[in-house]
Structure 1
Amino acid sequence: MRPIRPARAILALALTALLAACAEPAPPPATVDAPPPPMEAADDATTANADVHRFNIGTLQAAVLRDGDIRFPNDGKTLGVGAPKAELDAVLSKAGEPTDTVHLSVQTLLVRSGDRVLLFDTGAGAADFADAGRLPAALQAAGVEPAQVTDIFISHAHPDHVGGLLDDSGAARFPNATVHLSAPEWAALQTDDANAALAAAIQPRVDAFTPGAELLPGVVTAVEVDGHTPGHSAYEITDGDARLLYIGDAAHHFAVSVQRPQWTIAFDGDAPVAETSREALLARAADTGVTVSSPHFPYPGLGHVVRRDGTFVWAPLQ
């Protein structure tokens, strides 16, 4: 005869079973380690700052630096262009986002590799379309002066990624840095009248690379992601088995762009090509388990892309 359990024990067992049934599959194991000590020994130049999120890529010290935010109306003219408004709102609502305004973060990535200080994109600077310009203070809080940056890797030449290259006087903010961007992107930047001053300021230090090139052997490799701009690049950063994929503008919104990669966003120069590239990059990230760094996802924009219910979802690192 089976023993009679107290009601409290039966309730506990039922609750445990229910929670187990509802649990979602865990994302792939992280390749980015827990936050390390500050980039240098704590001193007056290296301080706690809400706009600096430190972590490791293997043995490489890294930090996401928050530059600011971009907000625009959810009116179907920018995000999810041509998609049914009700479906767009449903994706946003399920992700806990408002349905009247779209919010994108603006972030850059800082990495130390030996005696080199690497910066991936430079934020929006003083651009009037964004509430931004916090990169200089965040960089200082991370213990780095602009003159110490040795390499800047530009994903593409949109102003929220190159706006921080110049200081308030119009001079190069990072005077000793080589500016790496793909040859097609550099050619397009030079023909854009709006970027004439920028092109002139950085020209002496530009490295216009072949798309997909290995830029720092064993550390940084460019990844072609066509369609957004003429030479848009993501970057893979490696240290041994640890890898991080900085995706630039391959995906803009953590819910809409990831769950509906075939929906158009107005920022893409060649939307059909960009949509195909976006889906391919998301599949690559999901299938390899690489940790992703996105400059526009909610700060600090680190996580994994996982397959779920026939599409992809964003699983931020906790």
Structure 2
Amino acid sequence: MTFLRTAARLAALLALAAIPAAAAEEPGAATRFRIGRLEATALLDGTMSVPNDGKTFGLGRPPSEVAAVLRANGLSTERLDLSIQPLLVRAGPRILLFDTGAGDATFIKAGRLPASLKAAGVEPGQVTDIFVSHGHFDHVGGLLAKGGGLAFPNAAIHMAAPEWAALQANRSQAALVAAIAPKLAAFAPGAVILPGLVTAVPVNGHTPGHSAYEIGTGKDRLLYIGDSAHHEVISVQRPDWTIDYDTDAPRAEASRRALLQRAAAEGLRLYSPHFPYPGVGHVEARGDAFLWVPQAP
């Protein structure tokens, strides 16, 4: 399945599972925590829900099997709820933003990033660097303002070169590509982007150039995982189950398991833009699977 077909299917699936798009009128949410010497803030953009119908999570498995795992964890068996929460990091004169939410997409409940930034005390023009995990709309939609211009006019936009190439080939994203091209700084997968501050971590299979980001150094570092895992139960406790959003499912499943194994072995603190807000925690090994353990910021 190509990147373009996957992106189109993702939009269609979430349109079917839509919640009325009123979130832009709701207040923002900004939860501060620290990454060593760095000040970080979880920024809530919105939420989305996907039906447990065997077509998205646990692809090819009966919904009853997915429901059993959800029920065992005290969650609804009818749907899977995902958060949308970019990450803000202050590093001296730099203000870094990891992903930008869904913008004004009408088919999910999003659009709260501007209010969340305001709650964090940051104006869009102050953001110096944006790090894009991948080109799906719920991660890049917020790059554009409502009028079609850049929402963050002074920011360099960092994206893995294979991801940028795939985005450029996506005709439905032509307006976005044209707007961000002058600010785009493509990097090789795994590159050290800002020494001592941000290093790209390739997590293959979701999209052609999907990247996680390691922020900070030493024992205090944090790993922003992008879409390496979407759901705090299904993706973590059943990492080998197929997710329809993944362009290359077998490769994505292997990458997901490898990332979770590394995180558990090293005690890495993680930030997930789709796990329950504010998305900070770690994973623990549980036999052949893992357990998400949220942490208070």
- TM-score, structure 2 length as denominator? 0.89
Residue 129 of structure 1: how far off its partner (Å): 2.4
User: Partner of 1:212 in structure 2?
Assistant: 190
User: Partner of 1:111 in structure 2?
Assistant: 89
Among candidates 227, 231, 241, match of residue 249 of structure 1: 227
* Structure 2, gaps ≥5 residues long: 1-26
* Structure 1, gaps ≥5 residues long: 1-48
Q: Give the 5 Å matches for 1:53-68.
A: 53-68=31-46
Aligned equivalents of 2:62, 2:178: Cα separation in 1: 44
1:72 aligns with 2:54: no
1:306 aligns with 2:272: no
1:183 aligns with 2:183: no
Q: Which amino acid aligns with 2:46?
A: G
Q: Secondary structure at the match of 1:292?
A: strand
Q: Give the 5 Å matches for 1:67-146.
A: 67-146=45-124
Aligned equivalents of 2:185, 2:273: Cα separation in 1: 22
Among candidates 225, 235, 239, match of residue 261 of structure 1: 239
Q: Secondary structure at the match of 1:207?
A: strand
User: Alpha carbon RMSD of aligned pairs, Å?
Assistant: 1.0
Deviations 1:219-242 (A, max 9, x none): 100000000000000000014531
Aligned equivalents of 1:116, 1:145: Cα separation in 2: 13
Aligned equivalents of 1:85, 1:202: Cα separation in 2: 40
Aligned equivalents of 2:84, 2:168: Cα separation in 1: 24
Q: Secondary structure at the match of 2:86?
A: strand
Q: Which amino acid aligns with 1:262?
A: D
User: Partner of 2:211 in structure 1?
Assistant: 233
User: Partner of 2:24 in structure 1?
Assistant: none
Q: What percent of counterpart residues are identical?
A: 61
Residue 87 of structure 1: how far off its partner (Å): 2.1
C-alpha contact (below 8 Å) 1:151/1:178 kept by paired residues: yes
Q: Give the 5 Å matches for 1:150-161.
A: 150-161=128-139
User: Partner of 1:293 in structure 2?
Assistant: 271
Q: Which amino acid aligns with 2:173?
A: N
Q: Which amino acid aligns with 2:289?
A: T
Q: Secondary structure at the match of 2:178?
A: helix
C-alpha contact (below 8 Å) 1:146/1:173 kept by paired residues: yes
C-alpha contact (below 8 Å) 2:28/2:117 kept by paired residues: no
1:163 aligns with 2:147: no
C-alpha contact (below 8 Å) 1:57/1:239 kept by paired residues: no
Q: Secondary structure at the match of 1:277?
A: helix
Aligned equivalents of 1:271, 1:311: Cα separation in 2: 18
Aligned equivalents of 1:300, 1:188: Cα separation in 2: 30
Residue 95 of structure 1: how far off its partner (Å): 1.6
Q: Which amino acid aligns with 2:75?
A: E
Residue 209 of structure 1: how far off its partner (Å): 0.2
User: Partner of 1:274 in structure 2?
Assistant: 252
C-alpha contact (below 8 Å) 1:282/1:305 kept by paired residues: yes
Q: Which amino acid aligns with 1:214?
A: V
Quick check: 82-91 or 299-308, which moved more?
82-91
- TM-score, structure 1 length as denominator? 0.83
Q: Secondary structure at the match of 2:180?
A: helix
User: Partner of 1:202 in structure 2?
Assistant: 180
